[in-house]
């Protein structure tokens, strides 16, 4: 077992919950139907979900026992700041993707790269500009001239 029983307990619980949702709702509803001579369409997915459930539940239980035995608390809240630090990169990429859905990547790229560099504390303008423009220019060259699929 790894050395973080608390993490295991919570992740096990989380995975077990997801697998229960899968088994009871998602797979039966979206899993496809139809009689098949070989294997029913939902069989493998259901097996996989049960496997998840069994292992995650076992993991949770074992970690729970370890935690209790060592007398450590179940819940230890990380500070909010810590949480934010882990989340904002995802929001950044999500924003990037939303932009790329509307405008070609080649044009949005310099702005996004530059923005991230500034967020990360880069203050030397020539570095920011060069790092933003060169990859975008490279992409342009690749798609418009080498692969000839236009601006991507």
- The contact set with another protein (CB under 8 A) reads 1-2, 4, 7-8, 11-12, 15, 19, 22, 26-27, 30-39, 41-42, 44-45, 47-56, 58-59, 62, 85-86, 89-90, 93-94, 96-97, 100-101, 105, 109, 112-113, 116-117, 120-122, 127, 131, 135, 139, 142-143, 146-150, 152
8 A C-beta contact, residue 49 and residue 5? no
Cα radius of gyration rounded to whole Å, the chain: 24
Cβ atoms within 10 Å of 142's Cβ, excluding its own: 14
For another protein, give the closer residue by CB, 39 or 73.
39
Torsions phi, psi of 58, nearest 5? -60, -45
Q: How far is the CB of 25 from another protein (least distance, A)?
A: 12
For another protein, give the closer residue by CB, 76 or 149.
149
Q: What span, in angstroms and rounded, lies between the C-alpha atoms of 118 and 108?
A: 16
For another protein, give the closer residue by CB, 38 or 73.
38
Q: How far is the CB of 77 from another protein (least distance, A)?
A: 16
Tell me how far CA of residue 71 lies from CA of 6, 58, 59, 63, 65, in angstroms.
11, 20, 18, 12, 10
- Provide the token pair at 62: 């074992």
Q: How far is the CB of 152 from another protein (least distance, A)?
A: 5
Q: Mention every residue, 6+ apart, whose C-beta is less than 8 A from residue 107.
A: 136, 151
For another protein, give the closer residue by CB, 71 or 150.
150
For another protein, give the closer residue by CB, 14 or 73.
14
Q: How far is the CB of 7 from another protein (least distance, A)?
A: 6
């Amino acid at each position: 077992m790894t050395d973080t029983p608390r993490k295991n307990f919570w992740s096990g619980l989380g995975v077990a919950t997801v697998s229960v949702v899968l088994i009871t709702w998602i797979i039966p509803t979206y899993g496809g139907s139809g009689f098949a001579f070989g294997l029913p369409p939902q069989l493998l997915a259901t097996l996989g979900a049960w496997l998840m459930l069994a292992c995650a539940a076992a993991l949770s239980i074992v970690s729970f026992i370890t935690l209790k035995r060592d007398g450590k608390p179940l819940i230890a809240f990380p500070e909010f700041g810590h949480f934010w630090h882990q989340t904002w990169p995802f929001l950044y990429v999500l924003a990037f993707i939303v932009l790329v859905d509307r405008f070609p990547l080649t044009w949005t790229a310099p702005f996004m790269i530059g923005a991230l560099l500034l967020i990360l504390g880069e203050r030397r303008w020539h570095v920011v500009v060069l790092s933003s423009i060169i990859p975008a220019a490279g992409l342009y060259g690749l798609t418009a001239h080498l692969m000839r699929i236009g601006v991507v």
